[in-house]
Amino acid sequence: MDLFACRRGTVVTMEGCKGLPGKLVLQGFENPVAALIESPTVRHGVNIQFMPSLDDAVYAYVFGDKMGQVTIRGVAFAGLCTGSGSGLKELDDYYKNHRASQREDVVAVTIGNVTQSGFLTGMVITSRDPKFMLLDFEMTINTLPKKRT
């Protein structure tokens, strides 16, 4: 039995808890949208070169920090139960309006109580489930290294 056959690919928002300690907030990506963020990934790194020597010593030359990267993955729905909105259109509009080539300001990403700023540099959208009109998406935000204190 298929209870929601006539409303495939739709989602509804419910009032209640405003989020858990690991809540993710992406500036400009407010609810309700027909897309859900499922998993953020944060990468940090150091610009470093290792130089082994003949006497078994290893020298490390540190050149500061690399730019970080926040990857946000999620699922987009065909629309909201209210009949308005499309996850694909909302994602496309968000990318077009917030990508680094179209704005001078950085995008703020808050995961829990940690906020990072960066530039939206890419987005990938792929099909997840054509029967239920679901799409996977992945946004890439390159973050600025923290200043030394």
- Rounded distance between C-alpha atoms, residue 33 and residue 90, angstroms: 7
Query: Would you say residue 132 has pLDDT above 90?
Result: no
- Amino acid in the structure at residue 37: I
At 84 the pLDDT is 63
First to last CA, the chain: 61
**What's the 3-state SS for 52-63?**
ECCCCCEEEEEE
Whole-prediction pTM: 0.74
- For the stretch 93-111, pLDDT in tens is 889 989 999 988 888 888 8
- Rounded distance between C-alpha atoms, residue 139 and residue 29, angstroms: 12
User: Domain map of the chain by residue range?
Assistant: 5-143
Confidence label for 1 from pLDDT (cuts 50, 70 and 90): very low
CA distances from 52 to 47, 49, 62, 123, 132 (A): 17, 10, 14, 39, 55
Residue 136, SS3 per DSSP: strand
Answer yes or no: are the C-beta atoms of 61 and 47 closer than 8 Å.
Answer: no
- Rounded distance between C-alpha atoms, residue 68 and residue 121, angstroms: 12
- Which CATH number does 5-143 carry? 2.40.30.200
Nearest to 74 by CA among 36, 40, 112, 107: 36
- For the stretch 21-38, pLDDT in tens is 455 677 777 655 677 778
